[in-house]
Structure 1
């Protein structure tokens, strides 16, 4: 029985049942976590994957971030491996759309054909921006493919399991405790991969971290949109379009240049907005307020679009994302902290194990200091807040997960600590799996002597 005191409650000691034990535990079934679990399992590990929601995919599915980008350096595809497998599988289910190589170029014809799919390089300032390899996808296709991959890899998947605490003995992580409808449950493992996005496992274990915040977003979709008419209006009546579109973006109160994009489902558009600053993604109070504000903004835009925008007159509000989009909370301060200058200068590291658009992530940035048997994968990796904002997209985080799974298997096979795994061995196995670990720097990379 718990004891109520003035401003706290003392919980009674309790025995927590062990419900699973495996070589590797992955906490967080988002894009990075599932990729980590599949990678570890394919390399011979028994894997338990914990996820708090009823689905896998995290921000890619429940958060409805429905374009995979940050996968090319110019026109060179830099993010491959399990990411590519996801895309291919979704495409076979008519759940993914991406431009063929011959359409990846910079001209007005391709811009008009592809820009409303969100597959353009928005880092380029001049218009038309280049059409590149990026992928528009359907969130339910992502969920289906995720379950297929988990089943095929024989992963012990435990949904509806909310992380609660980390089990640590003498600086070694031994497992985790999660909360479920039937009470608290313990899962034991030799290595834990923290893919929570908020660094929950690592912070609970006592690792050093910083905390930041960025915009949060309540994503939504509209159905029954005549996208042909909407695009005709944009290109054939540009002045009228600019006036109405400017007002739409003012009403939503925070959106990228294109506040709506096409999806693989005809007539359904994705609205990656409203973006709302000033909310702490770790605060229950802030997140609750953001849910209210996001829906109020959405309704303002939706009503305006139906009344004023060609192509939207018969549209319906299909629904908002199951998860609010949180971009930044806790950031690990690991064995190496990636800086903004590392990203901007395209610094290459000798221990690079994954890459994004034109930046590289060293293995050390996945490892907490002072803790063994623990590795991270996802947007909470060891980086300065400004660096994280430039390198937190879903595809590169998935490659982090793939690298973490490989590293876990190598450590277990050698009976060694994760920090003692040779990054070159990770790079070699990543290549064997069809992934690009970034071991070969591109021509525009800044190559320095290996850091101590």
Structure 2
């Protein structure tokens, strides 16, 4: 038997863990970064708040925002090649014949036989590929471990020495990577960051800041919809989700965020379908505005039920009133874990309530309701979470402010990018930020922007490293240094995987040369990334 002193020593040893590279976050970027760290011969630990790995890629976002697939390389492309290999197997098609699936993708066909890639997939397939990466590379993952954000980080001479989780575990490393959607490790290290929209004047942009009455998608009210509980009666109060405040002058700054939602995996296959559950909190009046939209003639409800294999969908926000819970996430980035849980639960109740309302409320247009009732949650997805996605879509939270900031000028090809480590190609894409009443007295949404990038663009190494005066051994491939509107393009899952791989490569170089992350020799880094089949510029 162990003595009391031995038990104490054992307990202390048990709670202390060490690796060359410590990654905080079990997102797609975190897993890919860990794989690359191992390939570079470095010991690595992934500290994941989540039980399920892969972030949004494994939580409903299966209709990939590819942009230009030709610039997706390295381990990110390996992931999509694994998807292709999975769906080449006959037993992958449980609810549908492969030849019945079709080949619809976003910006590219779903299945590319020539390149042996597939860009569209079911959530459980993505998660299994992530777990295969873990097993094959013998990755060490600590799940359900949450950074102690107030006093859980020890720094010395501008470097993180270790991080501590709420369970008491301590993780010591030479290099750290923040792969979370929220940027919690970055913030705990007191690295500069921004929340919300900058004024256009800050970076001489056009599409940042408030963008009232600018309509570039279809997510706005194109009919005159009354905002009041009793139509025409201001004294009756406004319907749920409409702000009493005006949005502000166009181009000005605020601390508001583009809306979050869940990317639901739905199915119309009866044998695999579960009826939409009634949420814990449900009030039909929360959806009165949607009824008015339908009654005004809107009929695009099913336009973003994007098909993924086996009679399933990646269902995204679409239209003026949809799954985006506009205006209800502003506090999320800086909130405590308890407050974030409340915000997430409120979003879950809203979105489940929306589905339940459309399926059951007798005031729904009958033709739409009958068609809608053919859909439900997929029985074979998210099986330990009531068939509901694990991860809410945190489209934007904190964004680091480094020595170099990605702006719309780089995305739109108007400025060159120094020291590229990967590429993006998606449009400047922001979802709505607020819902308000116009001066004419009608409801309207604000903040939805979609400006096409004319060609793929490079992302700078300096965009994923903090200022040297703030932290010398941290990389931030997800909450990178970017303006709000540029982040609207960068924030795609393939790009996060690309930047995760590049971050791990740079971290390994810094360890090998015993230097700060800002002092990594770019020529050496570039050569390694090119050898990894990463795409850095259109010329490479």
In the comparison of the two structures, how many residue pairs are matched?
371
Decide which of 383, 390, 394 is 1:326's aligned counterpart. Answer: 394
The answer for the alignment partner of 1:107 in structure 2 is none
Which string of whole-angstrom CA distances, capped at 9 and with x for unpartnered residues, describes residues 70-116 of structure 1?
341xxx601111111111112222299xxxxxxxxxxxxxxx9544x
Distance change (3 Å), C-alpha of 1:174 and 1:346 = farther
User: What's the CA shift string for 1:405-451, capped at 9, x where partnerless?
Assistant: 1001111111111111122222211121122133x548xxxxxxxxx
Residues 408 and 418, structure 1, Cα contact 8 Å, conserved in 2: yes
CA–CA distance in structure 1, aligned partners of residues 119 and 366 of structure 2: 28
Equivalent residue number for residue 65 of structure 1? 61
Does 2:521 align with 1:425?
A: no
**Is the 1:30–1:57 contact (alpha carbons within 8 Å) kept by the matching residues of 2?**
yes
| Alpha-carbon distance in 2 for matches of 1:313, 1:20 | 51
Pairwise CA distance, 1:305: 9.7
Higher alpha-carbon Rg: 2
Contiguous gaps of at least 5 residues in structure 1: 1-14, 97-111, 122-132, 227-245, 443-452
Q: Does 1:308 align with 2:368?
A: yes
Instruction: Tell me the distance in 2 between the aligned counterparts of 1:31 and 1:248.
Output: 39
Q: Aligned residue for 1:94?
A: 87
Q: Deviations over 1:121-180 (max 9, x none)?
A: 9xxxxxxxxxxx87111111111111111222222111121122322112111121112x
Q: Relative to 1, partners in 2 of residues 1:255 and 1:337: Cα closer, same or farther, differing over 3 Å? A: farther
CA contact 1:335–1:368 (8 Å) conserved in 2: yes
1:192 paired with 2:170, answer: no
CA RMSD, aligned part only?
3.1
- Contact 2:27 2:179 (C-alpha < 8 Å) held by counterparts: yes
1:204 is the counterpart of 2:188: yes
Equivalent position of 2:474 in the other structure? 374
Deviation at 1:67, TM superposition (A): 2.0
Q: After the TM superposition, which residues 247-396 of structure 1 pair with which residues of structure 2 at under 5 Å, given as runs?
A: 258-265=303-310, 267-273=311-317, 274-278=323-327, 279-280=329-330, 281-282=332-333, 283=335, 284=339, 285-303=342-360, 308=368, 314-318=374-378, 319-345=387-413, 347-357=415-425, 358-369=456-467, 370-378=470-478, 380-396=479-495
- Helix, strand or coil: the match of 2:185? helix
| Secondary structure of 2:500 counterpart | helix
Question: Is it true that 1:220 corresponds to 2:288 in the alignment?
Answer: no
Aligned-partner Cα distance in 2 for 1:307–1:114: 28
For the 8 Å contact 1:306–1:313, the answer to whether it is kept is no
CA distance in 2, matches of 1:60, 1:296: 24
Paired residues of 1:306 and 1:315 also in contact (CA < 8 A): no
Q: Which residue of 2 aligns with 1:229?
A: none
Helix, strand or coil at the partner of 1:198: coil
Instruction: Look up the SS of the partner of 2:490 in the other structure.
Output: coil
SS in 2 for 1:188: strand
The change in CA–CA distance for 1:306 and 1:152 in structure 2 (over 3 A counts) is: farther
CA distance in 1, matches of 2:306, 2:86: 20
Distance 1:78 1:254, change over 3 A: farther
- Aligned partners of 2:158 and 2:520: how far apart in 1? 18
Q: How far apart are the structure 1 equivalents of 2:13 and 2:405?
A: 36
Structure 1 residues 356 and 187, CA gap change in structure 2 (3 angstroms): same
State the distance in 2 between where 1:38 and 1:71 align: 24
Per residue, is there more strand in 1 or in 2?
A: 1
Q: CA deviation at 1:22?
A: 0.4
- CA spacing shift, 1:94–1:221, aligned 2, 3 Å: same
C-alpha distance 401-142 of structure 1, shift in aligned 2 (>3 A): same
TM-score (norm 2): 0.63
CA contact (8 A) 2:81 2:118 kept: no
Distance 1:354 1:43, change over 3 A: same
Say which of 21, 46, 49 aligns to 2:18: 21
C-alpha contact 1:248 1:301 (8 A) present in aligned 2: no
| Runs (5+) with no aligned partner, structure 2 | 1-11, 90-100, 110-116, 197-256, 271-289, 318-322, 379-386, 426-455
The answer (yes or no) to whether the contact 1:26–1:194 under 8 Å persists in 2 is: yes
Alpha-carbon contact 2:64-2:106 (below 8 Å) kept? no
Runs of 4+ in 1 over 3 A off after TM superposition: 15-18, 112-115, 117-121, 246-251, 253-257, 285-288, 301-315
**How far 1:350 sits from its partner (Å)?**
3.3
Q: Which moved more, 1:338-347 or 1:420-429?
A: 338-347
Cα 1:302–1:86 shift into 2, 3 Å: farther
Asked if the contact 2:195–2:397 (Cα under 8 Å) also holds between the matched residues in 1, the reply is yes
Contact 1:17 1:184 in 2 (8 A): no
Task: Decide whether aligned partners of structure 1 residues 302 and 51 sit closer, same or farther in structure 2, where only a CA change above 3 A counts.
Answer: farther
1:45 equivalenced with 2:42 (yes/no) = yes
Cα drift, residue 315 of structure 1? 3.2
TM-score by length of 1: 0.75
Do 1:71 and 1:395's aligned partners in 2 also have CA atoms closer than 8 Å? no
